[in-house]
Amino acid sequence: MAAIPIFIIGADTLLLYDLLPIIRFAIKYSNFKSIMMISLLKNTLLLCLLIGFSCNGAFNKDKDSESGSIIQMESQDDKIVEAAARLSEYLPVLKGRIGIVANQTSVIYHSGSQKYTHLVDTLLARNVDVVRVFAPEHGFRGTADAGEIVRDGMDIKTGLPIISLYGENKKPAFDDHDLDRVIFDIQDVGARFYTYISSLHYVMEACAEQNIPLIVLDRPNPNGFILDGPILNMEHSSFVGMHPVPVLHGMTIGEYARMINGEGWLKGGIQCELEIVKMENYKHSMRYHLSIKPSPNLPNDKAINLYPSLCFFEGTNVSAGRGTELQFQIFGSPYLDPAYFKYQFTPVPNQGAKYPKHENKLCYGMNLAEASDLKRIDLSWLVEAYHGTNDKSDFFNSFFIKLAGTDELRAQIESGYTAEEIRKSWRPGIADFKKKRQPYLIYD
């Protein structure tokens, strides 16, 4: 940015400098009387001064606006230090046998680059006795389909046993004296139906039951600047929504762990011995780019931003783009009106979607890949799809209520409520939740 004022100042100087020969020429060859020459000189200099002040005024204006941008950019560009990278904060307590809940996002970035080393490899290299790894939905390498059973196995690189937290048992079984401490380090996306926070719940519960301390290495919430959606009714609690929170809770996974403990959501109100290793330079208002996909069908920042709005389609006969390269950036079905829903795509099996909805069928819908980033949940697409489908009785399936966390949303759509009318009904619950979560927040 410094080049801009230098350029302006340089242009100002250049203008004055280039006018000097003209002034000399006028003085030397003019037939005017000396009084006229003096007048010409004065007028010329006055013109130069006016131009100079004008340039200076333009410079000051640019400087003021640029300093505002710089302040904002500094706020955004401050290097966020994820908790995993703050080794000195937790290495000293990693004595004895250590278990790690991790997946492909559990990495430590090298300073000033996108290169990284996995947390497990980092700790083993420092002679930490890591004896077991626990893997959530999508597995340790993050390649399994949504909802696909993840089997126990062994990590080829380290030889460590991998215990699935998304198989027959979603809650780990810790035997007495089996582990001395557990670490949880997984990148979340801040949506209630994204199951990593459900895995967190069960890990905390298992640790509490066996008196095993749990360390949560905090990571940014890429949707942390949004608090929105219906509050889950505990009558509809499931693994895609275990707690009475809105769809977008606006908390980091460390803050969420504090709330699980503080609100007594673990079985019997039991408390987990919890330590949160905080990040540095993080604020909820910050955007955060994920260089590693948190799951196979969230391939980029746009999909992560649209996911809380488009995931409702998973509980309908509309595809959210699984089986394409635009997962959670498009939606459509064979049953939508092609006169209005003009975008076309055909889902086919791919990594993360072995059996996609409407496989090999032409779907009509919308492409949102170039849409502006959302600052709240957008229900308009869901409402429009419902009203634009051929057979409304076939639109919703039983999974929809689990995703919504309430039976009210479906009833509102079927009754003809607009998206804004539905959103208005969320306001009291969101206001109450905002107050309830306040004691558990770590960051501004």
Name residue, tokens 């126990």. Answer: 152
> Mean pLDDT throughout 225-235?
98
Domain boundaries defined on the chain: 3-77, 83-288, 301-406
> Mean pLDDT throughout 49-62?
37
Of the two residues 186 and 2, the one the predictor is more confident about is: 186
User: Superfamily assignment of 83-288 in CATH?
Assistant: Uncharacterised protein PF07075, DUF1343 (3.40.50.12170)
Give the model's pLDDT for residue 144. Answer: 67
Mean pLDDT taken over the chain: 85
> Mean pLDDT throughout 260-283?
98
Of the two residues 290 and 10, the one the predictor is more confident about is: 290
Distance separating alpha carbons of residues 368 and 328, to the nearest angstrom: 9
Answer whether residue 71 shows pLDDT above 60.
no
Give the model's pLDDT for residue 167. Answer: 85
pLDDT tens, position by position, 399-434: 999 999 999 999 999 999 999 999 999 999 999 999
Of the two residues 394 and 29, the one the predictor is more confident about is: 394
pLDDT tens, position by position, 78-128: 689 999 999 999 999 999 999 999 999 999 998 877 899 999 999 999 999
Among 294, 289, 343, 295, which residue's Cα sits nearest to residue 319?
343
> Mean pLDDT throughout 141-167?
84
Percent of the chain with pLDDT over 70: 81
Residue 4: which pLDDT band, with cuts at 50, 70 and 90?
A: very low
Of the two residues 111 and 394, the one the predictor is more confident about is: 394
Residue 151: which pLDDT band, with cuts at 50, 70 and 90?
A: confident
Give the model's pLDDT for residue 175. Answer: 76
Structure tokens at 45: 């200099």
The full 3-state SS of the chain, as one line of letters, equals: CCHHHHHHHHHHHHHHHHHHHHHHHHHHHCCCCHHHHHHHHHHHHHHHHHHHHHHHHHHHHHHHHHHHHHHHHHHHHCCCECHHHCHHHHHHHCCCCEEEEECCCCEEECCCCCCEEEHHHHHHHCCCCEEEEEECCCCCCCCCCCCCCCCCEECCCCCCEEEECCCCCCCCCCCCCCCCEEEEECCCCCECCCCHHHHHHHHHHHHHHHCCCEEEECCCCCCCCCCECCCCCHHHCECCECCCCCCECCCCHHHHHHHHHHCCCCHHHCCCCEEEECCECCCCCCCCCCCCCCCCCCCCHHHHHHHHHHHHHHHECCECCCCCCCCCCEEEECCECCCCCCEEECCCCECCECCCCCCCCCEEEEECCCCCCCCCCCCHHHHHHHHHECCHHHCECCHHHHHHCCCHHHHHHHCCCCHHHHHHHHHHHHHHHHHHHHHHCCCC
Give the model's pLDDT for residue 78. Answer: 61
Give the model's pLDDT for residue 56. Answer: 39
Q: From edge to edge, which strands make up the β-sheet containing 130-135? A: 153-154, 161-164, 130-135, 98-102, 181-185, 214-217, 274-277
Give the model's pLDDT for residue 309. Answer: 98
